[in-house]
Amino acid sequence: MNFRVMLAACAAGLLVAAPVSAETRVTLKSAQNSTSYYAMTVQLGEIIKQDSNGEILPTVEESQGSVQNVKEGAKRPGNFVFTTPPNLLADAKAGKKPFEGETGYDAIRTLFPMPFVTVHLVVRIDAGVSDVTQLAGKDFVMGGKGTFCEGRTNTILGLLGVADKVNKIDVELKAAGDAMKNRKIAGFATCSSHPIPSVQEMAVGGGVNVLSFTPDQRKAILAADPQSGPVTIAAGLYKGVDRPVETVGMPVGAYATSRMDDATAYAIVKAFWKFRAELAGKFPWWAGVGPEQVQLLGEKLHPGAAKYYKEAGIQIPASMQ
């Protein structure tokens, strides 16, 4: 099914970026509407509404990325759910860029894991780039401006010694695909659970490659961030990319804050695990999510989530309770 048609079908009956009037309102915030994470968020909204018999009405909001999500998580009132890699939360609590001088991050609480984010370095086949280090001297978009992906890509290229040699083009990620098609850039970075719909659509037109890291390159990247892990994108997942892509991925979690009431958090977490297998049967990106990944999310559990995991017999580290 076409991604946009699928997304419209998932959103049927769900309020997307619009005010709601209901006994319990929940705002879900994830990513730009062209990404797999936005589609996942719409799917989450559907199951939450269904499992609560409409007593919880979610609103899905588009986001520019995890940095915006984390910043809003520190401030937004009420029942606010957002996604982010956990290491970005650690940076926020430590006051690292771009969170210097900000407060409110101690109120963030864990709900459940999301599919891993996968780093994609997408290039034109005719750009003469078959290895990441060959991006030196090339025009390249590092990811969505101000996003986790942009920062992560810059870190990766820095570890591989080419971050200062790449011509970093300052355009919105939504414009990067057209810029590449028009040969104005060699490529761009994008980070989401694979397959990424926008990359799939671009690959159908041909002339697209997704770069692999060499074993030594990936070893260096993972050594710098123990929370990351190796990810292999299967050959043929993107048309024309006929060999496995060896890249890296990071855990991602769904989080709320202590301002969410316990009953709502419990209902949301319960609905997620109740429908996870069904979601995985329809949308493959959910298949790799399991209860053992909760411990990767770092922040303390929301009390409502803790109640669910205790009832379900799921072991949670003492540091998260």
* Whole-number pLDDT of residue 46: 96
Q: What is the pLDDT of residue 147?
A: 84
- Indicate if 44 and 158 belong to the same structural domain: no
Q: Which of 231, 250, 269 is the last residue of a domain?
A: 250
Is there a single domain that holds both residue 175 and residue 233? yes
- As to burial, measured by CB atoms within 10 angstroms (0-12 exposed, 13-18 middle, 19+ buried), residue 29 is buried
Using the 3D structure, point to which of 200, 217, 250 is the last residue of a domain. Answer: 250
Domain closes at, from 250, 276, 293: 250
Positions in the chain short of pLDDT 70? 1-22
The CATH number that applies at residue 163 is 3.40.190.10
Query: CA distances (Å), 60 to each of 26, 63, 197, in order?
Result: 9, 10, 19
Considering the domain architecture, whether residues 234 and 126 belong to the same structural domain is answered as yes
DSSP class of residue 49 equals H
Verify that 139 and 244 share a domain, yes or no.
Answer: yes
Pick from 137, 128, 129: nearest CA to 165: 137
52 CB-side CA count, 13 A: 25
Tell me the C-alpha distance between 158 and 163, whole Å: 5
The pLDDT score that the predictor gives to residue 5 is 44
Residue in the structure block whose two tokens are 């298949």: 287
Query: Same structural domain for residues 43 and 84?
Result: yes
Can you give the pLDDT at residue 19? 40
Q: Which two three-digit tokens encode residue 171?
A: 């355009």
Q: Are residues 107 and 37 in the same domain?
A: yes
If asked whether residues 37 and 26 sit together in one domain, one would say: yes
Whether residue 219 is found in the same domain as residue 258: no
The answer on 98 and 51 residing in a single domain is yes
Q: How many domains does the chain have?
A: 2
Same domain, 128 and 241: yes
Q: Examine the domain organization and report whether 272 and 261 are in the same domain.
A: yes
Looking only at the bridges linking them, the beta strands covering 108-124 and 208-210 are antiparallel
> Containing domain of residue 302, as a range?
3-114+252-320
The DSSP-derived string for 110-165 is EEEEEEEEEEEEEEEGGG--SSGGGGTTSEEE-SSTTSHHHHHHHHHHHHTT-GGG
Residue 33 and residue 138 in one domain: no
Measure the CA–CA gap between 92 and 75, rounded to whole angstroms. Answer: 13
Residue 315 and residue 69: Cα distance in Å, rounded?
28
d(CA 27, CA 41): 10
Helix pair angle (86-93, 66-73), 10° resolution = 50
